[in-house]
A and B are shown apart, each in its own frame.
Chain A
Amino acid sequence: MLYLDHAATTPMRPEAWEALSEFKEVYGNPSGVHATSRAAKNRLEVARELAADLLGAQRTSEIVFTAGGTEADNLAVVGAALATGSPGHVVVSAVEHKAVLESAGFVDRLGGHATVVPVDGDGLVDPAVVAASVNPDTTVVSVMTANNETGTLQPVAEVAEAVRAVNPATLVHTDAVQAFISEPVKVDALGVDLLSLAGHKFGGPKGVGLLYVRDGVRLEPVVHGGSQEMGRRAGTHNPMGIASMVAAMKATVADRAAFRRRVADVRDTFEADLAAAVPGLAVNGSLDRRLVQHSHLGFPGHTSETLLIRFDQAGLAAAAGSACQSGAVEVSHVLAAMGMGETEAAEAVRFSFGWTSQPSDAKVAAKIVTEVLGVLA
């Protein structure tokens, strides 16, 4: 199987596997007084320190570990909105991950108010438009670092600056889940107060993530219970998953520059080969501001549902829209927000490369895609 669905999830890196190995012995609950707990607590705090460092955080206490990116997004949006005592106003872009969009919807249902900011045909938000929707009640603005479907990179730093010019008290959150593997994600450069990561998108395990919370930012927890994570996220820690994720973070940052060159090469060759073979091939999203690993393509006259099944039969894993509970492909809210019609949106397929991608993958993938299109023609 040629795996080109790294944006959905990517294999765990050797460093992440390696980090798991000692936890057969280190089984303690970090929240205890004895040596067994201390051993686990130590691993947890070493990981926290490293994560803080890799993100350019000022203090280790700015890292809150969660059970994944979705929880981190929920904590950022809902937690910030509720921290002021009453649900305030939140602003999100129309192309956010459902974890952010639905959290904004939840704030709205709680009696707050959510504004969804549109994007242009390339999938980009305009910082001025975001700022224009900010008012004195706006508690948090959430604009993703890069889109999980198209790979379009948002001008997060510009958004943060524009938002603060209107309301300095408004928090800025970015979901950097998709971007971290290939973009230099640093909290100060991005100018954000809150930032979400998910371990499994960059070679860590599933079910673990983190939220960067700038020192001094108050959040209402969304998971209630014990006082773990300084009262911001209850529940027994997952030291094994956290250590493994942070090992993957470290490997990701070390490999990033090489990853960008390597993967951009594979992706560009793949697209060039296909463009030559497929008349009318569309590349969706911004071409100038795009993650190196994403290739979001439109195949006129073909539905992605059929293409994905054909690709799967031919040994190529790709994706379209977002898979729902049943596994059927749903029309993407991202493409709809970009003004794409239903037919065009249903023709879109996402190919995403990753740290295991080989230079030869480009030619092999282009050949499979071309052959499938040839059979269907």
Chain B
Amino acid sequence: MKVVVAMSGGVDSSVAAAMMVEAGYDVIGVTLKQWEDADGHLPTAGCCTVGDAEDARRVAAQLNIPYYVLDYVEEFRRAVVEPFGHSYLAGQTPNPWVECNRTVRFKALLERTAELGGDVLSTGHYARVAWHPSGYQLKRGIDSGKDQSYVLYMLTQQQLERIRLPIGELTKPQVRAYATRLGLRTANKPDSQEICFVGDGNYRDFLAEHFPETSRPGRIVDATGRQVGSHDGTSGFTIGQRRGLGVALQEPRYVVDIDAPTSTIVIGDRDDLLVKGCIVRDMSFVTGRPPLETAIQVKVRYRSRPVAAQMVAVDSGWQVDFDDPQAAVAPGQAAVLYHRDLVIGGGTISSALR
């Protein structure tokens, strides 16, 4: 069995590759070139740098597996970077990792896997794929603090059949210990939370340069429409944001709405932030069909806990009603449905329901 392992140069995918080697697979390591600097080379700062590719190459050499860099710059630009900008242009808060997994890693690269002679694709995500008589299941990673199943909700049966996520069975400390045991150079490498195309700069600088419309000055208003301040671009804001509003008020204030067409930020107190539910578009289900049980748990941000909710099909997608009102529900983010450890599916939040 031949496996293509997507190696970013971090410890997680290094260990994923090592585990596949130890499991007896015939392993090919690849790094995706997703973004390039103006000179056509991999970035030198931020994430997905030349140094990261070099780390991946060295780990591959140590594991004695072939290693290649694959050019996905055009696909990535089209499928991830442009939607990222357009989402901000619409006043939303995109999740580029979800889009990258949807269109690049688990679509383009998965299709490519067979072309390269691979039977399956493996990545260093903290999530698990399990076989069950009813079909393949996508489950949260063992390490609840590192779980990345949220960014994998779009995976289908056809994809899961050909995906191996070995480190989902480990905790982060176990992953590092594994790397240390093998003497992998990435064993103590810090985790990267960066967006590769933003580099080590601020993502707002990136938007200002590539999508200048997101950096139009505008007004900050309260719930009554009264102007309480001004800002230099809606891209600096996300629903639920409290810091950096540049407005001096006695009570804590939060961003409760972003109106991109008029470049207006609406702020309010914590109660104004609470919403009863949301509308989710482009919903996909891991089993390929909606669950029979309408009581589910939903996670509306990468860094938030799943909360109890009810779901029902509506004309514009699916309506998710939270059992208890939730704060910080941002259009553009993914709403991912769980049943305990199982990922049921998910989609993109198109609007919040007050």
A interface list, Cβ under 8 A from B: 305-306, 309-310, 312-313, 324-330, 375-376
Contacts and interface: CB of A to CB of B under 8 A. Distances in A.
A330 B40 contact: yes
Nearest to B117: A313
B42 interface: yes
Interface stretch (B67-75, B127-135, B156-164): B67-75
Given A305-B71, A326-B50, A327-B53, A310 B31 contact: no
Given A306-B112, A313-B117, A325 B70 contact: no
B42 A326 contact: yes
Contact of A327 (B57, B115, B117): B57
Contacts of A313: 28, 66, 116-117
A102 to B, nearest CB: 11
B294 to A, nearest CB: 45
Given A326-B50, A328-B33, A312 B57 contact: no
Interface in B65-92: 66, 68-71
Contacts of B53: 326-327
Nearest to B26: A313
Contacts of A309: 28, 66, 68, 116-117
Contact of A310 (B42, B50, B70, B117): B117
B41 interface: yes
A119 B79 CA distance: 36
Contacts of A329: 71
Nearest to B54: A326
Contacts of B57: 327
B69 A327 contact: yes
Nearest to B57: A327
B66 A327 contact: no
A325 B42 contact: yes
Given A324-B40, A326-B41, A327-B69, A306 B116 contact: yes
Nearest to A302: B115
Contacts of B41: 324-326
Assign chain B's interface to a size class: 10 to 19
Nearest to B73: A328
Contacts of A375: 117
A306 B42 contact: no
A328 B66 contact: no
Interface in B249-276: none
A326 B31 contact: yes
Q: What 10 pairs between A and B have smallest CB-CB spacing?
A: A328-B69, A327-B69, A328-B33, A328-B71, A326-B69, A326-B42, A326-B53, A306-B115, A325-B41, A309-B68
Most buried by A among B31, B50, B68: B68
Contacts of A312: 66, 68
Interface in B41-68: 41-42, 50, 53, 57, 66, 68
B270 to A, nearest CB: 47
A325 B43 CA distance: 11
A369 B217 CA distance: 58
A39 B66 CA distance: 45
A309 B118 CA distance: 11
A305 B50 contact: no
Given A309-B68, A310-B116, A324-B40, 16 more contacts: A309-B28, A310-B117, A312-B66, A312-B68, A313-B28, A313-B116, A325-B41, A325-B42, A326-B33, A326-B42, A326-B50, A327-B57, A327-B69, A328-B69, A330-B71, A375-B117
Contacts of A310: 115-117
Nearest to B30: A309
Contacts of A327: 53, 57, 68-69
Contacts of B69: 326-328
Most buried by B among A306, A328, A330, A375: A328
